[in-house]
Amino acid sequence: MMQPDLFADERRTLPLGPDAALLGGFATESAEALISHIQHITASSPFRHMETRSGKRMSVAMSNCGSLGWVSDRSGYRYDALDPLTGNPWPHMPRLFRELAEHAARSIGFHNFTPEACLINQYRPGARLSLHQDMDEQDRTAPIVSVSLGLPATFLWGGHHRACRPKRYSLIHGDVVVWGGASRMIFHGIDVLKEGKHPLTEDVRFNLTFRKVR
């Protein structure tokens, strides 16, 4: 006989390293509400493909909410209180977003985490995010909290050097990854997104990345 609870348990918490874990299904119950907030936010600060310093167009489309947003252009990467596309402040971070991120961080021992920025990534099949460290935040004592919605993806979890061969983890709708402390500067990324259809997002994967910046 099938034992669905046993399978659900298997995904519950997967340690990735010191101060880092994949919380399987942590956001599943909030997922529909999260997606409708994303739609609302991106109606005022639309998804756009930012440029890197070298002028390359990123394959992931991005927006932000919160008091600060991550931006990239020919002058490099930075956090900005204003959306450069609209000239307005980024949309307010919904309480559901903040509480979910705080709760996930707390569940692995980060008790004082309050995100200022939520980067919203939109991947379509073919999009990828190459191995990188999240290093534009001044406060490196705070963890990163990352929420996956829609199409599944392969998370690349490397080491402290770009050359370390990354481990591969599947991230599905509702999964949350938290990394901080000794793992805060680990190289990570997302492999090329495969074609697919998700009942809530069709051919899209969304990722919410919560950061404390200052």
Ligand X SMILES: O=C(O)CCC(=O)C(=O)O
Which spans of this chain sit near ligand X (rule: CB under 6 A)? 119, 121, 129, 134, 146, 148, 155, 188, 190, 207, 209
Helix axes 95-107, 31-44, angle to 10 degrees: 130
Q: Indicate the residue among 26 and 155 with the shorter CB distance to ligand X.
A: 155
Q: Indicate the residue among 19 and 134 with the shorter CB distance to ligand X.
A: 134
C-alpha R_g of the chain: 16
Cα angle: 122, vertex 82, 132; to 5 degrees: 45
> Distance between CA 112 and CA 155 in Å, rounded?
26
Amino acid at residue number 12: R
Helix (H) or strand (E) holding 42: helix 31-44
Q: Are strands 205-211 and 167-171 parallel, antiparallel or unpaired?
A: unpaired
Cβ 201 to ligand X shortest distance, Å = 14
> Distance between CA 178 and CA 183 in Å, rounded?
10
Q: Which of the choices ligand X, Mn ion, none does residue 146 contact, using the CB cut-off of 5 to 8 A by kind? A: ligand X
From 43-51, 78-86, 129-137, 158-166, span contacting Mn ion (CB under 5 A): 129-137
Q: How many residues bind Mn ion (CB under 5 A)?
A: 1
Q: Indicate the residue among 28 and 87 with the shorter CB distance to ligand X.
A: 28
Q: What region, left, alpha or beta, does residue 208 occupy, with left being phi > 0 and alpha being psi -120 to 50 degrees?
A: beta
SS3 of 168-197: EEEECCCCEEEECHHHCCCCEEECCCCCCC
Cβ 66 to Mn ion shortest distance, Å = 16
Cβ 203 to Mn ion shortest distance, Å = 22
Cβ 139 to ligand X shortest distance, Å = 16
Amino acid at residue number 98: R
For position 134 contacting Mn ion by CB under 5 A, the verdict is: yes
Cβ 88 to ligand X shortest distance, Å = 22
Q: Which of the choices Mn ion, ligand X, none does residue 119 contact, using the CB cut-off of 5 to 8 A by kind? A: ligand X
Cβ 205 to ligand X shortest distance, Å = 7
For position 102 contacting Mn ion by CB under 5 A, the verdict is: no
For position 137 contacting Mn ion by CB under 5 A, the verdict is: no
Q: Indicate the residue among 111 and 165 with the shorter CB distance to ligand X.
A: 165
Q: Rule CB under 5 A: which residues touch Mn ion?
A: 134
